[in-house]
Chains A and B, each alone.
Chain A
Amino acid sequence: MRSEWVKFRTVRSTPIGFAVMVLLTIGLGVLITFAIRSHWHTMDPVARFAFDPVSTSLAGTLFAQFAIGVIGILFITSEYASGSIRATLAAIPQRWRVVVAKVLVLGVTTLVVSEVVVLAAFLIGQRIYAGVVPTASLGGPGVARSVILGGAYLALLALFGLGLGLIIRHQSAAISVYTSLLLIVPIIVIFLPSSWQNVVARYEPSALGRAMMSVSPSANMFSAWPATTVLAIYVVVILIVATVLIERRDA
């Protein structure tokens, strides 16, 4: 555990990854909320009616999800790329212990950082909306849940990236697969018949993320807690596969 913590914080990619994530979540949040504020009066009434001040202020997370996944991927693939995985396994030959330590270090740090960042994005967004656009407060129904699950979404994706990295072991390949799952799979789903789409689309990781962050569930989507559970199941499955593989494969 301590060992993984030292490794996590002593490379430059970790602070850089977090900086990018903070920048994307808060920066894009500011950008998007400003854009909405300035166009509010020209928006059509239906859109205004359906407007969700919470998820729009958290829209930056949908970009930050790439940065956070890369943090998770690099946490393990950098060890394979540099060969330091051999040093790690020399110190801790029980490989499942390495996986557990990495999951704890990565999960806890990304959760803490993400929660803070998502909360900041929310509060800043609401300040920008204030006076022009309807705003939400943390006490409103489902609002606090959306903000908390927004952070949880990012932390779960970091662990998802870690699992992918453990299985694939090459950083560029792992990052490609990760971005494909988040971006390309939804595009493929668009070409499916709509009856299939309605069933399949809700299982996409990014759709789960939107569901976790929306105050009220929309049609053909999971509501917030079931979406969280599905994503958590993905993460657990991928980490179990990763642990079985690392135990069996030659390092």
Chain B
Amino acid sequence: MIVVDHVTKHYGHTVALRDLSFEVPAGVITGFLGPNGSGKSTTMRVIMGLDAPQQGRATINGKTYRELSSPLHEVGALLDAKSVHPGRSARNHLRAMAAANRISQTRCDDVLDFVGLTAVANRRVGEFSLGMSQRLGIAVALLGDPAVLLFDEPINGLDPEGIRWIRDVFRSLAAEGRTILVSSHLMSEMALTADQVIVIGRGSFITRGTVDELTAAAAQDVLVRSQDNVRLAAAIAAAGGVTSAGPGGSLQVAVLDAATVGQLALRESIALSELTPVRASLEDVFMELTATATDYTSSTGAASA
């Protein structure tokens, strides 16, 4: 289990994380979401002991990263796929990492095999494509067979085949009971892979829950088609709803739910040809949740400029 406990981190005058706290439960895939610049990578770096927070701390199974004596056996991380000396071969990079934590050579070959890099293991990493580098990064993360895995924006820059591969890897790792924290700024990706998500914005905790919980909590619009949209819109407005033009001559109704819209239509004797609750996509929820956080960003930016 990963615990981030009241972490505040600033770089000079820039506040990256403000009093951020959350827990990542064991054995599931947790999505870590936020717009660009919201502090996801900083959080990962604090968990990994690379950056020291001014306040608070982050622990993995009760210990800070620096307290781990053989960290690769407990935590595997892919923070930046390109953080390998470009002149070193993939196999030698793994060997160097393995030697630091008493991991065998055969394990290096095993993980290379798992990520499908055996054929290019002796090539210089500088010649690798981004997809190959990501695979190598995952090999490094898996080297010590750790129970906790961190991935920072693992699908950035990958082609569809690479994305599908990485998704499958996550699923198989989760099926083995590992704890996985995956950051992303793409909600839709998390809807496919994560059991639950933690949302942050502007360095602060916003919300957490399963994907279903988050979408259910969000406001739902209603899409309605009728023989007389003008009269229906007037009735809806009178009842406190807000209408806008929907696709294909439909009305998009906010604030009121489908049942209320149906009753209004009945009262006004307007025949409906369609009445559909529009389930908010995770993307919409995300935009809604982080809107204030991003607004805050630009206003402070303007104030300090």
Contacts and interface: CB of A to CB of B under 8 A. Distances in A.
A239 to B, nearest CB: 20
Contact of B89 (A10, A87, A88): A10
Contacts of B140: 87
A92 B71 CA distance: 7
A3 B97 contact: yes
Contacts of B101: 91
A10 to B, nearest CB: 4
A82 interface: yes
A250 B50 contact: yes
Q: How large is the interface on B (under 10, 10 to 19, 20 to 34, 35 or more residues)?
A: 20 to 34
A176 interface: no
Given A3-B100, A250-B52, A90 B88 contact: no
Given A11-B88, A84-B85, A87-B84, A6 B99 contact: yes
Contacts of B48: 86, 89-90, 93
A250 B48 CA distance: 11
Interface in B1-34: 11
24 contacts: A2-B99, A3-B99, A4-B96, A6-B95, A6-B96, A7-B85, A7-B88, A10-B95, A11-B87, A78-B85, A82-B82, A82-B83, A83-B80, A83-B83, A85-B83, A86-B48, A86-B79, A89-B48, A90-B50, A90-B75, A93-B71, A248-B52, A250-B52, A251-B45
Contacts of A11: 85, 87-88
Contacts of A12: 87
A218 interface: no
Contacts of B131: none
B175 interface: no
Shortest 5 CB-CB distances between A and B: which pairs?
A83-B83, A3-B100, A2-B99, A91-B100, A10-B92
Interface in A10-41: 10-13
A42 interface: no
B132 interface: no
Given A4-B96, A89-B48, A90-B77, 18 more contacts: A3-B99, A5-B99, A6-B92, A10-B95, A11-B87, A82-B86, A84-B85, A84-B93, A85-B83, A86-B79, A86-B83, A90-B50, A90-B71, A90-B75, A90-B79, A250-B11, A250-B52, A251-B45
B82 A83 contact: yes
Given A89-B50, A250-B50, A251-B51, A7 B83 contact: no
Interface in A81-121: 82-94
